Amino acid sequence: MKAILFDKQAKPLQLVERDVPMPEPKRGELRVRVRASSINAADWRSMRMGIIPRSRIFGADVCGAVDAVGPGVEGWQEGDEAVGDLSNYGFGGFAEFACASAEAFVRKPAGLDPLLASAVPLAGVTALQALRAAGDISAGQTVLVVGASGGVGTFAVQLARHMGANVTAVTSGANAKAIADLGANRVIDYTKEDYASVAGRFDRILAVHGNASIGTYARLLKKGGTCAVVGGSLRQVFAALILGPLWSLGRTKHRAIAARSNAKDLAYLLELVARETIAPSIERVYRFAEIPLAMDYAQKGHARGKLVIDYEEE
């Protein structure tokens, strides 16, 4: 089968298309013929940090048809359409066929476009889990999303609006209209304004990008409010991890989010997409052979929404 392999020597992007043996599903696993996948920061960040999957194949988000069912798997049969997040199962999605635990997969809602479905798993589940980090959001609560225009941010804005929140989104001017169109009540251009001085006070903050101190987020929160740090600079992430518990003894709560693939969360999100309650925001669809280019573009840090890979031959 064709796969995009990590190869340290491969110039210029260390990713190269090769023929490799088909993976065989082990006990408890499904093999899926991949129809579409999408790029996540987990793919290129792991590559940059030298954390390489055993198969040397990246790719977490997949949508495709079940092609073989391993021993001990119940409830799945050949031909079933599945969507999965393989990031906790060794990756492997950037290949014609991918094997992973049946627990990584949920059924694709009938009629849902595989390209849309493949944009959902890792980024959508991360946004959902971050929004729920301090319990469900109630209607009328105020939410600040810092870094609203990437994969996680575009889901976060739509999900927070769906939950009834009033959403302020921080993004660059180039993406401001697109984010307003997703439903954000207010958009702040971080290249023109210091959102920390003008944004106001919030019940929840999702720090998806950025490089603010815990003190800055604490000042932006109402009493009892929670800041969930999803990503951004290492300083921002480590501050939430190390100092967050201490700050949380005070008037505001600070959490570092480590999203976990979760079938129930993924099925819930796919249903929202199938009902057109939310819509994955997709900047560009690449072909399979263009995965190295898509990874390269993603790691430049300015992709708008998701970059999706279409595996169907032209």
Ligand X SMILES: NC(=O)c1ccc[n+]([C@@H]2O[C@H](COP(=O)([O-])OP(=O)(O)OC[C@H]3O[C@@H](n4cnc5c(N)ncnc54)[C@H](OP(=O)(O)O)[C@@H]3O)[C@@H](O)[C@H]2O)c1
The residues binding ligand X (CB under 6 A) are: 40-41, 45, 122-123, 126, 147, 149-153, 170-172, 174-175, 190, 208-210, 230-232, 257-259, 298, 301-304
Q: Whole-number minimum distance, CB 209 to ligand X, in Å? A: 4
Q: Whole-number minimum distance, CB 272 to ligand X, in Å? A: 18
Query: Angle at which helices 121-131 and 263-274 pack, to 10 degrees?
Result: 100
Place of tokens 């609560």: 141
Place of tokens 């499904």: 30
Residues 6+ apart with CB under 8 A from 179: 148, 149, 153, 154, 157, 169, 171, 187
Q: Taking a C-beta distance cutoff of 8 angstroms, is the pair 217, 230 a contact?
A: no
| Residue among 126 and 141 whose Cβ is closer to ligand X | 126
Q: Give CA–CA dist 45/42, Å, rounded.
A: 5
Cis preceding-peptide flag for 21 (omega within 30 of 0) = no
| Residue among 64 and 153 whose Cβ is closer to ligand X | 153
The CB density around residue 235, as the number of other CB atoms within 10 Å, is: 11
Q: Whole-number minimum distance, CB 239 to ligand X, in Å? A: 14
Q: Whole-number minimum distance, CB 268 to ligand X, in Å? A: 17
Q: Whole-number minimum distance, CB 1 to ligand X, in Å? A: 27
DSSP structure string for 178-236: HHHHTT-SEEEETTTS-HHHHS--EEEEEESS----HHHHHHHEEEEEEEEE-SS-HHH
| Residue among 60 and 69 whose Cβ is closer to ligand X | 60
Q: Give CA–CA dist 171/304, Å, rounded.
A: 10
Q: Whole-number minimum distance, CB 283 to ligand X, in Å? A: 8
Tokens standing for residue 54: 């055993």
Q: Whole-number minimum distance, CB 41 to ligand X, in Å? A: 4
| Residue among 29 and 265 whose Cβ is closer to ligand X | 265
Q: Give CA–CA dist 23/55, Å, rounded.
A: 9
| Residue among 151 and 225 whose Cβ is closer to ligand X | 151
| Residue among 204 and 209 whose Cβ is closer to ligand X | 209
Q: Give CA–CA dist 207/150, Å, rounded.
A: 12
| Residue among 142 and 236 whose Cβ is closer to ligand X | 236
| Residue among 24 and 194 whose Cβ is closer to ligand X | 194
Backbone angles phi, psi at 14, to 5 degrees: 65, 20
Q: Whole-number minimum distance, CB 305 to ligand X, in Å? A: 7
